[in-house]
Amino acid sequence: MPDPELGYKVRRLRRDRHMTQASLADALGISASYLNLIEHNRRNLTVPLLFKLADIFGLSLKDLVPDQRSFVLSDLMDALSDDLLVPYDLTNIEVQEVARAHPNFAGAFLALYDAYRKAAQDAQDLAELCGGREGDGEGGMADGFPAEQVSDFIQAKSNYFPALEAAAERVSTDIKLADESTFRGMSSFLTNAFGVRVMAMPPKDGWTIIRRFDPGRHELHISRHIPRETRDFQVAHQIGLLAADKEIRELAAEAGLLGDAANGLMRAALANYFAGALLMPYDEFHRRTLAWKYDVDLLANFFGTSFEQVCHRLVTLRRPGAQGIPLHMLRVDIAGNISKRFSLSGIRIPRHGASCPRWNVYWAFIEPGKINIQVSQTPDGQRYFCIARMVSRGVAGHNASRSLMSVGLGCRIEHAPNLVYAEGMNLDNASLTIPIGTSCRTCPRMDCDQRAFPPVNRNLGFNEHVRATSPYVVPRSTDK
């Protein structure tokens, strides 16, 4: 089973469990020298050895050898749906052969395509500025390439970082000894451990900045105008940057990202991971998640966190022997842009642009505050159980500006009975299932009245005498 990542994974799992090569080799019934060759990807693992490794580390074969090729294939299809590449008329079979036979080439192509999109957007932004039109100040597509590097690394790690979990547990123990509220305990820890004072930001600054750290003066300023759960998370984030600096640096170095922007985003993402682990300690969070059947509101209320923060934490429950169900998560804005994506459930989330408008993550905007539940089916026949809710972010105040986002969370249909949201539902009722795709350009469904673009692999004619529900829907009747 050739897999360039498998040898590294075996070595990391062994070291995480403080095992020597000799002890693991003895458990596998092979020599230490042969194990050394495996760990350096100079020998392939046989199926019997894979089963033994899975048993030793308490993992399933799917966890030990995840098939990332399906995600590469989805990303390739998404990239090849670009109008620039449509004239080449590449078939699905050709793309599949590239993804499966030449994964490194596929990865290089995606990196090049990401760079092309970034350059194209930079040129467009520059043209708009030269033409006297100001941008929206949010970065947008210009930040796409660094963000995709970070997203790919997190996906490759299954969004689980044991080193950060351990660092958060160490800090959590110290904070609990203070016997104070979470905010006071974290503030005291920053002062005692790093000499950092946590201070309220001047009211005028707090409308536009929610956290500012001054390393020279050892001061952390937090806005007065943000919700309590956001305030706590920002303090925990700063603790992560200081208390887990070594772990964050090592992980960022391992990622090998290109450019200061990507490395800065990676550090921020890892500090956010630490913050979630600190505020929602793994063991207790996992235990209550199972007891409350993934009730996000109950978990948020108990841990003093937000809906989005809990959803983030749920997708990190990958500790061997204490795993949660494989989930996917995405976050979109009201324009349909995907700002966060991660999938362990197997669902394909587009790498660029928006996803299928039939996904409940978009319909959640229609009913603010309500959890929207959906049973969906993708073109490959796989069914998913998904929830989504619209959330707003920003500072408090009558005239304060807030951004609207929708957060979606889901799993394969066989895991749905583990979720409180599926109680009382007949999951076998076909009428409840909503057909969805990944994106219009890669979806083969031709009877969708939400279709915005034709599929990339079909050249559709236009009949001026017939108007269907969408210009790209093929009418079922041939009547003129």
Tens-place pLDDT, residues 40-62: 877 777 767 877 888 888 876 66
Q: What angle do CA 347, 330, 162 make, to 5 degrees?
A: 90
Q: What value does the CA radius of gyration of the chain take, rounded to a whole number of Å? A: 24
Q: What angle do CA 469, 474, 475 make, to 5 degrees?
A: 70
Tens-place pLDDT, residues 104-130: 888 888 888 888 877 776 665 565 456
pTM to 2 decimal places: 0.72
Q: How many CB atoms lie within 10 A of CB 182?
A: 20
Q: What is the DSSP string of 305-322?
A: --HHHHHHHHTT-EETTE
Residue 39 has pLDDT above 50, yes or no: yes
Tens-place pLDDT, residues 385-408: 999 999 988 777 767 777 899 999
More confident residue, 164 or 43: 164
**Are 439 and 81 within 8 A, CB to CB?**
yes
Residue 476 has pLDDT above 80, yes or no: no
Confidence of residue 460 (pLDDT cuts 50, 70, 90): low
Q: Which pLDDT does position 443 carry in this prediction? A: 79
More confident residue, 341 or 448: 341
